[in-house]
Structure 1
Amino acid sequence: MIADEPWLDKSAADCKAARTQVGPWETHLSALASEAAAIKAAGQWRTGPRTLLAVLGMHELERKLVTCLAWILRPDGHHGLGNRVVKALFERFGLPFDPTAQVRVTREEPRFTSDGKRTPADLIVRAGGVCVLIEAKVNAKQHGDQCARLARLWADEEATLVYLTREGTGPDGLPCSAAWKPLTWRHIAGFMTPPPNDASAGARDFLETLQLLYGSKGPSMLDEKTKFYMRHWQLLSEWATLRDGATREITAAVHTAAGSLDATLLAEAEHGWDMDLASHPTFELWRPSWQRGEVHAAIALQWKPAELLTDADPWPYVGVRVKKPKHPERHAFVKTMTEQLETYASRLGWSGSQIETGWLWWRQVAPTDAEDDLDSLTVECRTALEAGWQHLRSPLDDLFTG
């Protein structure tokens, strides 16, 4: 697999020598696995999103963040912050704040231009005769004359115009604007800090989300996972280098399989590489007739180089693949294909089904005897493609011509 690693040579003598060299490595691996397991058991090895908003994929969705902001601006919300955020907002721009006045916060409040064009404001905050209009952006920029229209439509209330962004720029992208006062999401986090003891879990989650995305949590503190790596980086780096070489060899084995398919099959099938998927190399077998509207079908072999030899997708996989539909799981014909092919796919051992990603039936293809036997991986990939063609070409013909 990797030429400059002697224990990877396939000769009997070298393999015997390799066992001597691999032994200490296996001992190291067992010790590291035990150390990592202990750290995880103590809850100190943490990965993935750190806040609930991030877990739900809402941490950069503008409408969701504005909804959270509207919530914490209302003094009577269950967030437990009282009026501290709205008071800090007013003080930020030198506006008088009457703590006895009613605070009213509205989202998407619409007004209409003289020609009937609807223009909603992201947030309107009113208290004691003072009006603040907040136009919030996360990743997007202003559209056309949107901000100019907002300024005109709320001129009757002499609204203070606030442009809330990551960077603190005005609508024109410059640091300041004549009409609009810049504000950052980092400022919002500052208005909430430190949260009172009785602040709700939701308020704390929103605060941490803003701090992670747009602010700072102060001096960097190494977590136990990082400390583990720093203790063992030399050994782990050596293993990472080996994995890179191993994945290259797996890729070569799959290419060999695609290039050595049965000549009779290749005479019957259209075949080739899907060059649109650089991160997911894909070899396909198909007929021109396997197309109905936007649906294109093929028997495909695919792998993800970045995920080879990991828990995600350790090996290549073969299956029935459809292309083009934006939401294949909602497409009636794709659903019919999935149902009609189930019996044939099960005979091949293709039990996986991920219709939402365009894979109707599939299975992973791994070496048959041992994970270092890449010759058997080539054979298995080639055999899986050929068997898929033999068993599924007729059912697919019937589906697309019926």
Structure 2
Amino acid sequence: MIGDEQRLQELAGEWKSVRQSQIVQWESSLRALTRETTDIKATGRWRTGRRTLLEVLGVHHLELRLVACLAWVMRPEGHHGLGDQVVRGMFETLGVPFDPAARVDVTVEETRYTASGVRTRADMVIRVGGFCVLIEAKVNAGQHGDQCARLAKLWADEAATLVYLTEDDRGHDAPGGWARLTWRDIAELMAPLPASASAGARDFWETLGGGGFAMPDDRTRFYLRHWRQIDEWSALRHEAVKEVEAAVELGLEGLNPAILAEADQGWFTEGAFSTYELTRPSWQLGALQAAIALQWHGPGLLTDGDTTWPYVGVRVSSAKSLSRDPLARNLTEKLEKHAADVGWTHSQIARGWLWWRFVKPTGSDEDLASLTENCRSALEDGWRALSGPIDSVFETAEKLGDPDTA
């Protein structure tokens, strides 16, 4: 028996040594990968976010804006610098004769009316040398009712070639009698971009998917080189988040008994948010209820965002709009000084937090013992500093019966 215990101790020691060695290797690899990503970023080869100005402005999915850009590059005399490349390429793709000497007339939102007075609008109509092309453009949408049938009938006098322009080839069947094109096809008509192409033309081309998609960028190549290590490390996050949550819960289990005797307390979960509250029955008047609370967002813990760590503060809830609630505004004003005494200097009344602050580990992020203690002391300090002033506000408001004068 003694031999078995000794062997177990030896195995435990060996396992601990292996884990320590593995962690040392991980830290070395992480430093090397950090240096590699720093070099890629420094030379402008690690790119994230929006690629083009149209995307930055948020208009890359707005149909009217894209149609306006398309009309611009269709007009040969435009400052885009493409000449008649796009309009000529479209006519040739559709098998419509194109006369380079003829005037190119492009109109958007051209409107006609049915015999019964129903207004019907064509997104774009292009006329060149007696030939007409009508484009019905779609972005994140399909045709509505008999829209395409009305368009075909109303422009039949010009024997218009009908084009159904959509985002991609999936789930957007062209109506009978309509040619099918995608926005990516428009990008291909613009290629190759001539040296005279303007910055705006290039931005539109790239927004539509021109260039840059055939080969992975350096950020993607980095992941392809190191995905096994990254995948192994990412699995650690789940364990780390559970440890953070356990550290927070441990701190709340050790709250001062004298405070617990004074307060109603409890947990509740709303979506991915976990909340622990200290409150009193008297902290409710009408639709508004207040509490001193600690909250965290599980998916947001240990991520680079607004919910990296738990936060503690004065939390209010109401069926009314909090920013317009006179009692909520009064609480915000009357508690400001007391909240500042415990470092609760943030205020977001519209989101239900009058005064609050983050609760983080002391020193390094890995010091979860300090996170436990900090969560406990934050709630206790908040209760001692704010429970009396909150009592006073509610008592005065109830006596006066008018939160505006409390």
| Structure-1 separation of matches of 2:85 and 2:109 | 23
Q: How does 1:48-127 map to 2 (within 5 A)?
A: 48-127=49-128
Shift of 1:184: 1.0
Matched, 1:30 2:31: yes
| Structure-2 separation of matches of 1:371 and 1:99 | 68
Which AA in structure 2 matches 1:39? I
| Structure-1 separation of matches of 2:127 and 2:375 | 67
Structure 1 pair 154/307, CA: closer, same or farther in 2 (3 Å)? same
User: Which residue number corresponds to residue 179 of structure 1?
Assistant: 177
Q: Which runs of 5+ in 2 are unaligned?
A: 1-14
Q: How does 1:122-271 map to 2 (within 5 A)?
A: 122-168=123-169, 175-211=173-209, 217-218=213-214, 220-221=215-216, 223-256=217-250, 263-264=260-261, 266-267=263-264
User: Which residue number corresponds to residue 5 of structure 2?
Assistant: none
Q: 1:309 aligns with which of 297, 302, 306?
A: 302
Which AA in structure 2 matches 1:204? R
Shift of 1:289: 3.8
Which AA in structure 2 matches 1:263? L
User: Which residue number corresponds to residue 367 of structure 1?
Assistant: 361
Shift of 1:195: 0.6
| Structure-2 separation of matches of 1:306 and 1:54 | 27
Q: What is the aligned length?
A: 373
Shift of 1:37: 1.8
User: Which residue number corresponds to residue 273 of structure 1?
Assistant: 268
| Structure-1 separation of matches of 2:70 and 2:393 | 53
Between stretches 356-365 and 302-311, larger displacement belongs to 356-365
Between stretches 357-366 and 176-185, larger displacement belongs to 357-366
Which AA in structure 1 matches 2:230? L
Question: Normalising by structure 1, what TM-score?
Answer: 0.75
Structure 1 pair 357/100, CA: closer, same or farther in 2 (3 Å)? farther
User: Which residue number corresponds to residue 401 of structure 1?
Assistant: 403
Shift of 1:299: 6.0
Between stretches 195-204 and 123-132, larger displacement belongs to 123-132
Structure 1 pair 24/317, CA: closer, same or farther in 2 (3 Å)? same
Shift of 1:81: 0.9
Which AA in structure 1 matches 2:233? W
In percent, how many aligned pairs have the same letter? 51
Q: CA RMSD in A?
A: 4.1
Shift of 1:345: 4.5
Which AA in structure 2 matches 1:152? K
| Structure-2 separation of matches of 1:139 and 1:253 | 46
Which AA in structure 1 matches 2:240? A
User: Which residue number corresponds to residue 344 of structure 2?
Assistant: 350
Structure 1 pair 17/361, CA: closer, same or farther in 2 (3 Å)? farther
Shift of 1:181: 1.9
Task: Determine if contact 1:111/1:118 at 8 Å carries over to the other structure.
Answer: yes
Task: Determine if contact 2:166/2:181 at 8 Å carries over to the other structure.
Answer: yes
Q: Which runs of 5+ in 1 are unaligned?
A: 1-13
